[in-house]
């Protein structure tokens, strides 16, 4: 592939690079499926779909787009109270941890509170925007609390399925992949690359787990299967995206160490 071509995203395997990295810039449209599938089809149909602010391509982006429509008005209300975005971030984590702990009482109750915690967690960005208080530390704190929330949430799922060893192992695998999803993107961006593709990010993860816990029964096994497969797909797609960019000779803009 000539040097004049832009780096392209991988489909199911990074040996073929399909869509331009530039198409994932801030303000891209949300996709209902992974951009890897769009690349496999080789079309640009998805470019006409509703737009998302963050430009993250993920499984449930239409729902997340609607969620933004809810979070922004609520964020405006909270911003008027003078509560800091960082306080909202920590509060969201507290609700998430409390909900996860409730799994020892009732799985469905835990699922309901986890979904409530996800809404609380989502408000911090809206509050920061509305109050004009966005900060680098706020973004850092949000990322750290997200990882803690993931650990608590998937730990709760592991407890709920503790009688089936293979499901506990699946919960552990889902947690590892959740952490890798975040790490691969952060590391890629620290080197000047872009790695936002995939089918499972935190919003989808929390929605799937919360809904699965509300449903209860065998649905938790289905949830873990979706998280493991989707998480693995996302990690591989992001690794492939970075590989494609490096293959085009772009090179990292920062030292790899």
Exactly one of 28, 121, 146, 150 is catalytic; name it.
Answer: 146
Q: With contact defined as beta carbons under 8 Å apart, do 127 and 79 qualify?
A: yes
Q: With contact defined as beta carbons under 8 Å apart, do 194 and 245 qualify?
A: yes
Is 146 labeled as catalytic in the residue annotation?
yes
Q: With contact defined as beta carbons under 8 Å apart, do 194 and 35 qualify?
A: no
197 is written with which tokens? 């593709």
CA-based radius of gyration for the chain: 19
Long-range contacts, stretch 20-28, CB < 8 angstroms, 24+ apart: 21/194, 21/241, 21/244, 21/245, 23/47, 24/55, 24/57, 24/194, 24/196, 24/197, 25/55, 26/53, 26/54, 26/55, 27/51, 27/52, 27/53, 27/55, 28/52, 28/55, 28/57
| Nearest by Cα to 172 from 228, 101, 218 | 228
E-state strands within the chain:
8-10, 17-20
CA–chain centroid gap for 47, Å, is 21
Active site residues: 146
């Amino acid at each position: 592939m000539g040097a004049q071509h832009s780096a392209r995203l991988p489909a199911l395997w990074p040996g073929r690079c399909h869509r331009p990295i530039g198409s994932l810039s801030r303000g891209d449209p949300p996709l209902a499926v992974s951009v890897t599938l769009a690349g496999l089809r080789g079309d640009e149909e998805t470019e006409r779909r509703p737009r998302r602010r963050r430009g993250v391509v993920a499984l449930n982006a239409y729902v997340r787009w609607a969620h933004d429509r809810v979070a922004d008005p609520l964020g405006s209300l909270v911003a008027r109270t003078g509560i800091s975005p960082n306080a909202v971030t920590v509060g969201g984590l507290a609700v998430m941890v409390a909900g996860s702990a409730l799994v020892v009482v009732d799985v469905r109750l835990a699922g309901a509170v986890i979904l409530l915690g996800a809404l609380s967690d989502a408000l911090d960005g809206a509050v920061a925007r509305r109050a004009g208080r966005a900060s680098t530390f706020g973004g850092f704190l949000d990322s750290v609390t997200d990882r803690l929330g993931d650990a608590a949430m998937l730990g709760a799922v592991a407890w709920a399925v503790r009688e089936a060893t293979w499901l506990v192992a699946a919960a552990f695998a889902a947690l590892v992949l959740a952490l890798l999803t975040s790490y691969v993107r952060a590391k890629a961006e620290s080197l000047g690359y872009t790695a936002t593709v995939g089918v499972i990010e935190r919003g989808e993860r929390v929605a799937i787990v919360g809904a699965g816990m509300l449903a209860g029964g065998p649905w938790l096994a289905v949830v873990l299967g979706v998280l493991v497969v989707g998480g693995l797909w996302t990690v591989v797609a992001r690794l492939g995206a970075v590989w494609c960019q490096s293959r085009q000779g772009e090179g990292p803009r920062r030292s790899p160490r």
